[in-house]
A and B are shown apart, each in its own frame.
Chain A
């Protein structure tokens, strides 16, 4: 009887097994009231835990720990191994690896008012967003968060810098426009003058006055009159040519995923042909193959031929 361990539930006066309990109900027996979670590194109850938070078991029933090397990395792997051994040994005991525990949601959203007294695990501080949201035991999640956070931060910074930029047409600050749809820049590919998307599109689509050369007026930048063939919408302004290229590439990639309404799955005819930004795919999913026909023009220049139809030749024939 004396070699038996005192029943934990009996100590708290709540053992339901009574006489048939396999643990000792004799209060003289040594108590094994050590928190196994704390020994493994983390106990979610913290200071409110009913069990003792000591690192060594008083009974010292555990096998002697393997010798530790000075290398911290091997130390952690050793601990890991020990952990695994423990889990294997006590497979019938309810035990969860700390990575399975969620972190305190208050801390993850900023800071936890309970501080050190919080029963939940607190994440490590993310230096980018200043929130304690990095899970200490989930490295892949940490990495993902850090990446995401840096991306967000970059976006916010770009937005801040874009805040004061005015459109030269409406003379308003583009990001201070009343509706969200208007708070967009219209990037011209060939120059770096900022406009709001609404203004530059309005200008480019306005009806040409007689005698007006469309390429040197409507399609040109209103400020420097440099010809740009298309306008790219963007919620932020760029600060380097690389950023501009990235914005344009993302926009083009997005358009390429949308089916061209002129092409209409092969049933229509797109006036933009091979230079169309939209997707030219047939209804079975395969993409249109682009074959350009180069013709030598009379002036000796090479021109790209439009789609020619036999009927156009036959229609011009006169049969005698």
Chain B
């Protein structure tokens, strides 16, 4: 049985301190089992300036079981799968404690972004690159941040796609139907 009272309190608490921490949590649906967390990329890292979205699923036994968290924004990081967005972090697994909250977990993920742990990787390719070719890693991570984690305005998205040679009306409807995601919109335009 999920303790909805606690989830609700956590949401209120997060909303109160959102300016101080930059971490936000908002419900996806109305039953509070699926939430979306948002964290800003830490300053001084390749993730600076990006806004990262994390899918949160509250398990049945929460808070006695850790919440399931997964990046929905693509990230280039040794401890985060570049394919699925799965996160390798001890407090989301065996080191979970019921005194931790969604907010503290998200802050920990933010800390993970600034301090990668390549010796305990989630994504072996990224970890190898991090160890062997750090400069390439940094530029890749920065490029991914620029491409996937930056919210450009609708006009800019339209401009980009129009520059690629698609018609403006076509581009607008594609962006609209893909929920504002320009990559999905591009795929649609290419396939359609």
A203 close to B98 (CB less than 8 A) = yes
For A220, give the chain B residue with the smallest CB separation.
B97
Of B9, B95, B96, B97, the residue contacting A223 (CB under 8 A) is B97
Of A168, A202, A209, A225, the residue contacting B94 (CB under 8 A) is A209
Q: Which of A162-196 contact B (CB under 8 A)?
A: 168-172, 193
Complex CA gap A114/B10 in Å reads: 57
Interface of A, helix, strand, loop or mixed by DSSP = loop
Instruction: Determine if A206 is an interface residue (Cβ-Cβ < 8 Å).
Output: yes
B93 close to A209 (CB less than 8 A) = yes
Of A211, A213, A222, the residue contacting B93 (CB under 8 A) is A211
A217 close to B97 (CB less than 8 A) = yes
Complex CA gap A148/B105 in Å reads: 49
Complex CA gap A33/B65 in Å reads: 86
Query: Known contacts A209-B93, A217-B94; is A170 also within 8 Å of B99 by CB?
Result: no
Instruction: Determine if B6 is an interface residue (Cβ-Cβ < 8 Å).
Output: yes
A217 close to B98 (CB less than 8 A) = no
Query: Known contacts A169-B63, A206-B61, A206-B65; is A222 also within 8 Å of B97 by CB?
Result: yes
Instruction: Determine if B187 is an interface residue (Cβ-Cβ < 8 Å).
Output: no
Complex CA gap A134/B95 in Å reads: 59
Q: What bracket does the count of chain B residues touching chain A fall in?
A: 10 to 19
Instruction: Determine if A308 is an interface residue (Cβ-Cβ < 8 Å).
Output: no
Of A169, A210, A213, the residue contacting B98 (CB under 8 A) is A169
| A interface footprint on B67-97 (CB within 8 Å = 1, 0 otherwise) | 0000000000000000000000000011111
A171 close to B95 (CB less than 8 A) = no
CB distance from B173 to the nearest CB of A (A): 45
Complex CA gap A220/B65 in Å reads: 15
Instruction: Determine if A199 is an interface residue (Cβ-Cβ < 8 Å).
Output: yes
Complex CA gap A33/B120 in Å reads: 105
Of B3, B65, B95, the residue contacting A170 (CB under 8 A) is B3
A168 close to B99 (CB less than 8 A) = yes
| Interface residue count on the A side (C-beta < 8 Å) | 20
CB distance from A260 to the nearest CB of B (A): 28
| B interface footprint on A34-56 (CB within 8 Å = 1, 0 otherwise) | 00000000000000000000000
B98 close to A222 (CB less than 8 A) = yes
Instruction: Determine if A212 is an interface residue (Cβ-Cβ < 8 Å).
Output: yes
Instruction: Determine if B134 is an interface residue (Cβ-Cβ < 8 Å).
Output: no
Complex CA gap A13/B6 in Å reads: 81
Complex CA gap A212/B97 in Å reads: 12
CB distance from B154 to the nearest CB of A (A): 39
Complex CA gap A97/B12 in Å reads: 68
B64 close to A203 (CB less than 8 A) = yes
Complex CA gap A193/B98 in Å reads: 13
A225 close to B97 (CB less than 8 A) = yes
Which chain A residues lie closer than 8 Å to B65 at the CB level?
A: 206
CB distance from B155 to the nearest CB of A (A): 43
Which chain B residues lie closer than 8 Å to A193 at the CB level?
A: 99
Instruction: Determine if B5 is an interface residue (Cβ-Cβ < 8 Å).
Output: yes
A202 close to B64 (CB less than 8 A) = yes
CB distance from A199 to the nearest CB of B (A): 7
Complex CA gap A210/B6 in Å reads: 26
For A204, give the chain B residue with the smallest CB separation.
B64
Q: Which of A209-268 contact B (CB under 8 A)?
A: 209-213, 217, 220, 222-223, 225
Most A CB contacts (10 A, CB to CB) among B10, B61, B64, B96 go to B64
Which chain B residues lie closer than 8 Å to A203 at the CB level?
A: 64, 98
For A202, give the chain B residue with the smallest CB separation.
B64
Query: Known contacts A202-B64, A206-B61, A206-B64; is A170 also within 8 Å of B6 by CB?
Result: yes
| B interface footprint on A265-303 (CB within 8 Å = 1, 0 otherwise) | 000000000000000000000000000000000000000
Q: Which of B96-129 contact A (CB under 8 A)?
A: 96-100
Complex CA gap A209/B9 in Å reads: 26
For B10, give the chain A residue with the smallest CB separation.
A171
Complex CA gap A169/B98 in Å reads: 5
Q: Which of A102-128 contact B (CB under 8 A)?
A: none
Which chain A residues lie closer than 8 Å to B64 at the CB level?
A: 202-203, 206
Q: Which 6 A-B pairs have the closest CB atoms?
A: A222-B99, A212-B94, A222-B97, A169-B98, A168-B99, A206-B64
A-B contact pairs, 19 of them (CB 8 A): A168-B98, A168-B99, A169-B99, A170-B3, A170-B5, A170-B6, A171-B5, A171-B6, A171-B10, A172-B5, A193-B99, A206-B65, A209-B94, A209-B96, A211-B93, A213-B94, A217-B96, A222-B100, A223-B97
With A170-B5, A209-B94 given, can you name 7 additional A-B contacts, CB distance below 8 Å?
A170-B63, A172-B5, A206-B64, A209-B96, A213-B94, A222-B97, A222-B99
